[in-house]
Amino acid sequence: MSHKLDPIAGTQGDVASHDQTKSWFYTDIVKEHFFHPKNFMEQDADESQFNAVGKVGSPACGDELRVWMKVDPETERIQEFKWKTFGCGSAIASTSMASEIVTENGGMTLEEARALKPQDIMERLGGLPQRKFHCSVLCDKALRDAINDFYRRENKFDKIVVESARIIDPVSKVTDHDIEEAVLEGAHTLELVQQKTKVGIGNPNCLPAVEELIRFYKEKYFGGK
């Protein structure tokens, strides 16, 4: 697992050329965290010193992110946060920024970290291209997976939060998570979501629920824009 260059931001020249295209604009903060990532897990690091590990994604299907945390068992504050990724430059920058957010000022408590939202990371980065917003969500999910892992190791099972997918369209087997991913990738209308997921094509009865989810995820991630 390694810090992988973004195919659209692999070199200084590539980033500069994309800065000229508004839809792919990267802020100076994003570039700083991409070219000089913070808290990256070195190859020879001792992973046994961490008491929480989180993972999301798979290199077989695209981005994968792993995070390691050292949490104070008494205060439940995050003392260290390390990470590795097979992912694009936006995923690298988002995770690098998140690692600073959760450890600054003495470290967030796990409760505070669980409340951290993708848009909080986005704001600190100065924004990401809309087509790359899902990268900050990737980091958010890995962080929450690591929090669950800490509570699992501490036998505090009542504090584990499990997110399960709900089938919205029994015909196409599309879930609420599928619709969430579609919205994150820029599908903000029913027509666009249907193009990506085929939800409701053979089962129009589910369309009101689909439209409600689209509104919910747009508000959650984009402020209803």
pLDDT score at 24: 52
Domain-located, residue 2? no
* Contacts of residue 10, Cβ cutoff 8 Å, sequence gap at least 6: 89
pLDDT score at 19: 40
Provide the residue range defining the domain that includes 187.
167-222
Residues 17, 94, single domain; the answer is yes
Residues 184, 78, single domain; the answer is no
Q: Which regions in the chain score pLDDT beneath 70?
A: 1-24, 58-63, 130, 224-225
pTM: 0.71
Residue 219 per-residue DSSP state: H
Spatial contact of 42 and 135, defined as CB atoms under 8 Å apart: no
Domain-located, residue 5? no
pLDDT score at 224: 55
* Contacts of residue 205, Cβ cutoff 8 Å, sequence gap at least 6: none
CATH number of the domain that 199 lies in? 1.10.10.1100
Residues with catalytic roles:
61, 135
Residues 186, 149, single domain; the answer is no
Residues 124, 211, single domain; the answer is no
Domain-located, residue 145? yes
Alpha-carbon distance of 172 to 202, in angstroms, equals 8
pLDDT score at 214: 95
pLDDT score at 29: 95
- Crossing angle of helices 89-103 and 118-125, in 10° steps, is 100
Alpha-carbon distance of 24 to 163, in angstroms, equals 32
Residues 52, 111, single domain; the answer is yes
Alpha-carbon distance of 202 to 205, in angstroms, equals 9
